Amino acid sequence: MPSPTRYTGALKGKTALITGGACGIGRATAHLFAREGAAVVIADRNEPSGSAVAGEITAFGGRAIFVPANVTSAADCQRVVERAIQEFGAIHVLLNNAGIIRRASILELSEQDWDRVMAVNVKSVFLMSKSVIPSMEQAGGGSIINMASGWGLTGGPKAAVYCASKGAVVQLTKAMAIDHGPQKIRVNCICPGDTDTDMLHTEAQQLGEPKDRFLAEAARRPLGRVGQPEEIAQAALYLASDAASFVTGTALVVDGGGLAGSI
């Protein structure tokens, strides 16, 4: 389990925009980035939870705002970026974290299922990055972190559209790193394994499996447990910080050894 964190001010003076920041990995990362000195902009459709996270951060002396947004909308993405710049002056870090899952084979998927997962998991990365990059370039560079998955590197059962979407995120990350390196913008992705979030519990429901049995199966990896959102947040902090100044175009696997020997 994670040990108590010592904060170093690694993101002092920076502004971080986090999509899907109202819960799970996004919430944990918003808290960590704020404690490391960043001003945090949380974009999410869940207004009560997003506002609550911003309130939690300001309560401990951090700086944060919540902007309700549908990140599959170009207009909403642009509006979030404009609000972030208006409030904090620039954007130095973008975490494209918003994501959903639909556990099904292609024969079980509807066209609407396919379109929705691809829109949230892939199109949102394209739209938000497109809105952020010009201002990030004006700020002298920055770090874009895309949330992929271990299943973006290897396949999984009854997860056709999710695997397709996360594989697309991995390859989009690499292409963006090539295109925007000259602007001093680093682009990386994180490939988490099963992590204790609402999404993981939703998978059990979608598969019709008892939650306890599903979570026990998810823990079958070398470290013998699922991950915690705070552990994925630590990986995001590394990629956002100057400690990763020569890291771009990489897919960082954070999965307790789940893919060891698989790829």
Catalytic residue among 162, 190, 196, 244: 162
Q: How many CB atoms lie within 10 A of CB 148?
A: 29
Name every residue whose Cβ is closer than 8 Å to that of residue 156 and which is 6 or more positions away in sequence.
Answer: 162, 163
Across the strands, what pairs with 192?
A: 254
238 part of the active site: no
- 2 DSSP assignment: P
Are 86 and 17 spatial neighbours (Cβ–Cβ below 8 Å)? no
Residue 73, sorted as left (phi over 0), alpha (psi -120 to 50) or beta, turns out to be beta
CA-wise closest residue to 30 among 69, 59, 71, 2: 59
Are 139 and 91 spatial neighbours (Cβ–Cβ below 8 Å)? yes
Active site (catalytic) residues: 162
